[in-house]
Amino acid sequence: MKAEHHVVYHDPAKWAAVPANNGANGPVWQWGDELLAGFTMSTFANAAGHQCAGPCHSWLARSVDGGETWQTWEPEGYAGQPEPVLRGLTEGADFVMPGFVLRVEGNGYHGNSGCRWFSSADRGATWGGPYGFGTLFESPELAGLEFTGRTGYLVDGPRTLLLFLSARRPARGIALQEKAFLARTDDGGRSWAFVSWLVPWSDPCRAVMPAPVRLSPARLVAALRRKSQTNNWIDCVASSDNGATWTHLSRVGDTEAASSYNGNPPAMVLMADGRLCCVYGHRSERRMLARFSADGGATWSDPAVVRDDFSSVNGWPDLGYPRLYQRPDGRLVAVYFWCTRERPQTHIAATIFGP
């Protein structure tokens, strides 16, 4: 598969990583050839595990040429506002504004904490918030749980939005009892209601970081990061009633041969030709992979290699966490974190590939 690799951000004194923890996982933040992605920044440290030391900060990266060159910066008001400054919305947000983007911040990952969201009406140039979720966590399904949401949403109208989140029993580190759920607002974010679990709470395996796609007015699919005590993989779940109920649709692929490195989250888009594309990192193989589905996620192609030249300074396969876009010319752009022999420190990369 033809692929072009580009550097989004690299500084040998910095750790730049995990785009999936910052920025949208559906819908993608894209306006034609203009792409917006988030990532986490910290100080580089040549230590075991993550190559970082010190506090983490949330950054943004923008490309206006379809992923070939990038500008990066630390935005104001995008994350990390001190608690409990949760400014309420006096008027509901307009979700269909051409420049609208929404970012969720939750507990349990790299410099993020709390239960709040931020929004921008100008393609991420300026941000408002933080905003709260009202009485969402007083619902019986979520009472007593810890909020761990990343960013994934589908806009259903000027004031209606489906927000794909996650929660777990309070814990330190990774918990298998952590599940993705769907919440909904019909008043521009002033109030939120629990809708459904994407995977039953009784399921024994972790199911988080959903990448949702709308296939029709009622049909939704979402790729999920899964983890058990023995292996890690990507599942695809589906809803035929606009998120009210969900069923398992398919297993997209493994993200690891065992369960040593915590697997990888998916990124998924609906392509212009009607196929789905799902991209994820495989840590055991040290590769970025893409699979395609021509039947709405029921079956998937064999994996296509997006990239396989990983080489880190400490030998640990810390990689992936992609965002995924399709350019107007049909080519796909994956943004993820990576290491190479030339740049063995963790950095943000972009690969342009596909048709």
Mean per-residue pLDDT, 321-339: 97
Mean per-residue pLDDT, 180-184: 98
Domain boundaries, the chain: 12-273
pLDDT reading at 234 higher than 90 = yes
pLDDT reading at 85 higher than 60 = no
The whole-angstrom separation of Cα 23 and Cα 177 is 24
Mean per-residue pLDDT, 236-242: 98
* CATH number at 12-273: 2.120.10.10
* Contact status, residue 155 vs residue 98, Cβ threshold 8 Å: no
Mean per-residue pLDDT, 264-282: 97
> Quick one: pLDDT at residue 173?
64
Mean per-residue pLDDT, 19-38: 90
CA 1 to chain centre: 24
CA torsion sign for 324, 164, 73, 97 is: positive
The whole-angstrom separation of Cα 308 and Cα 285 is 8
Residue 84 — very low, low, confident or very high, per pLDDT cuts 50/70/90?
A: very low
Mean per-residue pLDDT, 244-261: 94
- Taking residue 268's Cβ as centre, other Cβ atoms within 10 Å add up to 28
Mean per-residue pLDDT, 215-242: 97
pLDDT reading at 83 higher than 70 = no
Residue 267 — very low, low, confident or very high, per pLDDT cuts 50/70/90?
A: very high
* Contact status, residue 213 vs residue 164, Cβ threshold 8 Å: no
* Contact status, residue 308 vs residue 320, Cβ threshold 8 Å: no
> Quick one: pLDDT at residue 266?
97
- DSSP single-letter state for residue 137: G
Question: What DSSP assignment string belongs to 96-129?
Answer: TSTT-EEEEE-SSBTTB-SSEEEEESSTTSS-EE
Minimum mean pLDDT among 18-27, 64-73, 115-124, 148-157: which range? 18-27
pTM score, whole prediction: 0.96
Mean per-residue pLDDT, 127-150: 92
Contacts of 70 (CB under 8 A, 6+ apart): 6, 7, 8, 9, 61, 62, 63, 350
Residue pointed to by tokens 């921008």: 120
* Contact status, residue 285 vs residue 303, Cβ threshold 8 Å: no
Residue 246 — very low, low, confident or very high, per pLDDT cuts 50/70/90?
A: very high
Residue 302 — very low, low, confident or very high, per pLDDT cuts 50/70/90?
A: very high
> Quick one: pLDDT at residue 19?
95
Contacts of 346 (CB under 8 A, 6+ apart): 15, 16, 17, 44, 50, 51, 52, 312, 318, 337, 338, 339
Question: What DSSP assignment string belongs to 177-210?
Answer: SEEEEEEEESSTTSS-EEEEESS-TT-SSEEEEE
Question: What DSSP assignment string belongs to 51-106?
Answer: SEEEEEEEEEEEESSTTSS-EEE--TTSS-PPTT-----SS---TTSTT-EEEEE-
- Both tokens of 32, joined, read 């034609």
